[in-house]
Amino acid sequence: MHPKQSALEKRLRAMLDELDNYLEDTYGEYFDLHPNRLARGEASSTLYDGLFSASLKFTMGYGTDSGRGYSVVIDISTLDSIDRKTRTEIDETAAEKLSQLLPRHFPERDLRLAREGHYYKIIGDFSLGDV
């Protein structure tokens, strides 16, 4: 992987860690943690502990209105049933927070959040400059 791509992904991960912590603070008491999941703060990454796991998956965006970008994935590690209304609220809260975090973590880039069906995607300038 190119060093500039690695640096970009490291900044994206830091932003997602902040989002994950926000979701844990806001909704962490709503559901019981999956019995096979480490408690918040017990793993080396927010990906592997606590109720929430925020991640991104790059998509070329073929057949979408917004094109290429990073699909936002919010996993909830619980055996509890999550009704559609609550899940929608969590997703919308995450999107609102991400919209606030993007300009703070990437002030030099034109990045924004777009809605694609039932999910959100970060789109905009992911260029690496002259490589």
Residue-level length of the chain: 131
pLDDT of amino acid 130? 60
Asked whether residue 111 carries a pLDDT value surpassing 80, the answer given is yes
In a domain, 129, yes or no: no
When pLDDT is cut at 50, 70 and 90, the band that residue 117 belongs to is confident
- Tens of pLDDT, residue by residue over 68-104, are 999 999 999 999 999 999 999 999 999 999 999 999 9
- Tens of pLDDT, residue by residue over 15-50, are 999 999 999 999 999 999 999 999 999 999 999 999
pTM of the model: 0.91
SS3 state at 67: coil
pLDDT of amino acid 118? 84
Domain interval for residue 31: 3-124
Name the domain count of the chain.
Answer: 1
Q: List 71's β-bridge partners, or say none.
A: 57, 121
In a domain, 39, yes or no: yes
Cα separation, 23 vs 51, in Å, equals 9
In this predicted structure, which of 8-22, 47-61, 97-111, 116-130 has the lowest mean pLDDT? Answer: 116-130
